[in-house]
Amino acid sequence: MKFDKYQHVEKLQTDETDGIECGEVFVFPKIDGTNASLWCEDGVLQAGSRKRHLSLDADNAGFLLWASEQQNIKEFFILNPNHRLYGEWLVTHTFKNYREDAKRKFYVFDVCYYKDEEKKYMAYFKYQHLLEDFGIDYIPSICIFENPSIDQMYASLEKNNFLVIDGAGNGEGVVLKNYDYKNKYGRQTWAKIITSEFKERHFKVMGPAIIKGKTEYEDRIVEDYCTTAFVLKELDKIKAILKEEDKPFGSKEIPRILGSIYHELIKEESWNFVKKYKFPIIDFKLLNRKVTHKIKLTIPELF
């Protein structure tokens, strides 16, 4: 098997996840480490990051080195050579409140196998026992809903204290999986809710959309989608890429940072705000300037 990157997890209440609440929905803690995967190729353990195949000379925060020393993982692939493990290698990123004893461990959040060259995801109860047989850590389901309301799914954020320091509040967010669901584009898709973005969007009592009556769409897009959490999350991705490229993080990278965050905002959210605001006329040059201003407000120490 070759490297196969993990699917993008879409935000709840977007076009990509419309209808995911119809049926049995498993809720999982979302942890903030670095995406990782393990598989076997010609009898040799292989590892990947979010976007690339790893080697010991080009590792990702020491993940492959760690995995190569885990006898239980090697034994798993001896008996399950056509399986792939996707999970989170828990190293410090944006969220800082994980227990120290939880760090530098691999937590599986999906197991897949290949049938007639098609990738199939295993349901939670099937892979749970399989992983337990080999002592492999995994992210447990914190609740299961049958046809949940939107409010119930948002309320599940309060149940996520997985690996979090006692008294430090809730974790990064939750992931919602309906194993029988495919979206209207025919894709098997998971949904996510990010705690900090939920609080920022839903618990502000002031903001342009409230105090102005009429606002420019560009302001509303930045307010609703280019949140502080979004900027910091994308910044961490850029830092990780620079580290892999052996480049320092500093003011010389400002053009790259501004361009990358704006690019990700357009790529990830444009369809959402087109639908939300019913095909608005947007000045993308103005939007770019407002996103740059938000980035400067969020990380002033870089400018």
Tens digit of each residue's pLDDT (9 = 90 or more) over 89-135:
999 888 889 999 999 999 999 999 988 878 999 999 999 999 999 99
- The answer to whether residues 160 and 236 belong to one domain is no
Residues 64 and 119 in one domain: yes
**Confidence (pLDDT) at 200:** 59
191: CATH:
3.30.1490
pLDDT computed for residue 115 by the predictor: 83
Question: What's this model's pTM, rounded to 2 decimal places?
Answer: 0.72
Nearest to residue 200, comparing CAs of 218, 174, 235, 226? 226
Strand, helix or coil at 206?
coil
Q: Is pLDDT at 291 greater than 70 in this prediction? A: yes
Q: Residues 6 or more apart from 60 whose CB is under 8 A from it?
A: 34, 36, 47, 49, 54, 89, 240, 244
Q: 3-state DSSP call for residue 14?
A: coil
Range of the domain at 228: 204-302
**Of the candidates 113, 124, 112, 53, the residue with the CA atom closest to the CA atom of residue 86:** 112
Q: How distant is the alpha carbon of residue 257 from its chain centre?
A: 19
Instruction: Give the Cα separation of 74 and 35 in Å (integer).
Output: 20
- Compute the 3-state secondary structure of the chain and give helix, strand, coil in percent, each to the nearest 5: 40, 20, 40
The whole-number pLDDT of residue 123 equals 96
Q: What is the CATH number of the domain that holds 107?
A: 3.30.470.30
If asked whether residues 282 and 155 sit together in one domain, one would say: no
Rounded to 5 degrees, what are φ and ψ at 299?
-125, 65
Element of type H or E holding 269: helix 254-276
Average pLDDT for 247-258:
84
Q: Examine residue 84 and state whether it is found in any structural domain, yes or no.
A: yes
